[in-house]
Every structure is written in structure tokens, then in C-alpha cells.
Amino acid sequence: MEDKKAKILVVDDEPDVVDTLKHFLSRKGYDVIGALSGEEALHILEKEKTDLILLDIMMPGIKGGEVARILKEKYPRIKIIIITGYPNELENLSKEHLLDGSFIKPVNISQLYNKLIETLSQKEMPVVDLKSKK
């Protein structure tokens, strides 16, 4: 993200987590939206272009892992950083290449911020069709 700050969607069923991250990232100049469920996040994404999602895994309704799968299918350019208290859940998501980063709660906000900056600065890798090369 060159000169403009990214739009970030924070998704967690704990309102305190959403509020804390929204406040912190807004003060850093980011445009931040909060959602308290996977369903709410998907509804927001139908209307709002988002650059990165901070996503909890264990939530009522649609779990974060399913939200990540839907995102990678419908919005493949959105970066996803998982924040969870359940590290066992990360293995499958990592194997499916659904994550751009992950953190185990409680999160060190400085480390999260550094990862967020790193993730947003990564360029999209062009898709190369290896079968067509001779």
C-alpha cells in the first residue's frame, strides 16, 4: 500500500478485542471496520473493499476457518491474519495456504502491527502456468 493507508476488517466475537484493535489501528491511520461474527464479516465484504482481515477462528456461527476459505475463493487478494486462542486449528488453515500470518492470543500488539505492515507491503505474486512452459 503506497501512500494510502489500508482498510482493515477486524473479526472477533469478543467486543473488547475488536474495540482495542480498531482503536489502535485507527490511531495508526488505518481505516478500520469491526465485525463480531463471520456472518457479519461476509456481509460487510459484499459492500466494502478491504485490504486485510484480522480474523478469529472460534466464533459462534460460521467459524473463522470457513470464513478464510470463502475469502480466498471470493476475494483472493485480501490478506488474512488469524488471531486465535486455539493453535491446533492453525495447522489445517496453513496447509490450505489460507493465511498470510497468525498469532496466538494473548497477542503482543507491537508484533501484530509489524506483521500487518509486512503483510500489506507484500506484492501479489503473478500466477505462472508451469504446464505451458517448454
Looking at the chain, the whole-number percentage of residues with pLDDT higher than 90 is 66
Q: Which three cell numbers stand for residue 105?
A: 492470543
At residue 50's C-alpha, the angle toward residues 44 and 52, to 5°, is 115
- Is residue 126 pLDDT above 50, yes or no? no
Q: Categorize the per-residue pLDDT at 123 as very low, low, confident or very high, splitting at 50, 70 and 90.
A: low
CA-to-CA distance for 69 and 65, rounded, in angstroms?
6
Query: What is the amino acid identity at position 109?
Result: I
Model confidence, pTM: 0.85
Over residues 104-119, the mean pLDDT reads 91
Counting beta carbons within 10 angstroms of the beta carbon of residue 23, is it exposed (0 to 12), middle (13 to 18) or buried (19 or more)?
exposed
Q: What is the mean pLDDT of the segment spanning 128-134?
A: 45
Confidence tier at 4 by pLDDT (50, 70, 90): low
- Judge whether residue 36 has pLDDT over 90: yes
**For range 43-51, the mean pLDDT:** 94
